[in-house]
Structures are given as C-alpha cells and as structure tokens.
Amino acid sequence: MADLLPLPSRTDEPDPLWRHLVGERLRRMRHGRDETLAEVARRAGVSVQYLSEVERGLKEPSSEIVAAVLGALGGTLLDLTSGIADDLRTAAAPAYGGVALALAA
C-alpha cells in the first residue's frame, strides 16, 4: 500500500462559485467558436443580456438554460463539466507546488 502524503492547507482562498466556473467555461467555448453573444443567445433562445450575465457569473442558470446554451455551442454537459474540472486542477496545481500527486494501489 502507498504512503499517504499530507496536502498543504488552502484555507487562504475560498473555492470559486459554480456560477463563475460555468460562466467562464461557456465564454471560452463561445470564443473558441469565434461567435458573438448575439449569435449564441439567438440559437439558445435567451436574451443577449441574460447570456452575458451568465458568462460573467452574475446569474445562476437553470439546467435547462445550460443545456440550451451548450446546444447552441455544439457542446455537451460532459464538455462543460470536464472543462471545469480541468480548470480547477490547473488552478490548484500551484497550491500543491506544481507537483501532481498520485496514489499507488
């Protein structure tokens, strides 16, 4: 069995809010497609203002809205959540000295 390594405490920074993570990822997906807010909002059936607020983390979208925006972006819930997980891992890496920790079986 592998030795357990203690992880440094990260109490100095609170975890980000889900709405901020979702908004950032949706914006990156939209920018990756080189599309405007208006184009995506029209296809998703939401207002440009609402989509802008979602992307800025000001609104907590329902699962139906998230699905509509993802559909307009040609993405899936898996794309969104795995992208957010990757973002969180990347952000956490410096807090752990940039070293990836692995547990051996």
pLDDT, residue 92, reads 82
pLDDT, residue 105, reads 45
Q: Are 31 and 86 in contact (CB under 8 A)?
A: no
Segment 36-95, tens digit of pLDDT: 999 999 999 999 999 999 999 999 999 999 999 999 999 999 999 999 999 999 888 765
Cβ burial, residue 13 (10 Å; 0-12/13-18/19+): exposed
Examine the pLDDT at 102 and tell me if it is beyond 80.
no
Distances in Å between the alpha carbon of 28 and those of 22, 68, 75, 79, 99?
10, 16, 12, 12, 26
pTM: 0.77
pLDDT, residue 104, reads 46
For domain 18-96, the CATH superfamily is lambda repressor-like DNA-binding domains (1.10.260.40)
Q: What are the residue ranges spanned by the domains of the chain?
A: 18-96
One-letter amino acid of 35: E
Give the separation between CA 85 and CA 60, rounded to whole angstroms.
Answer: 18
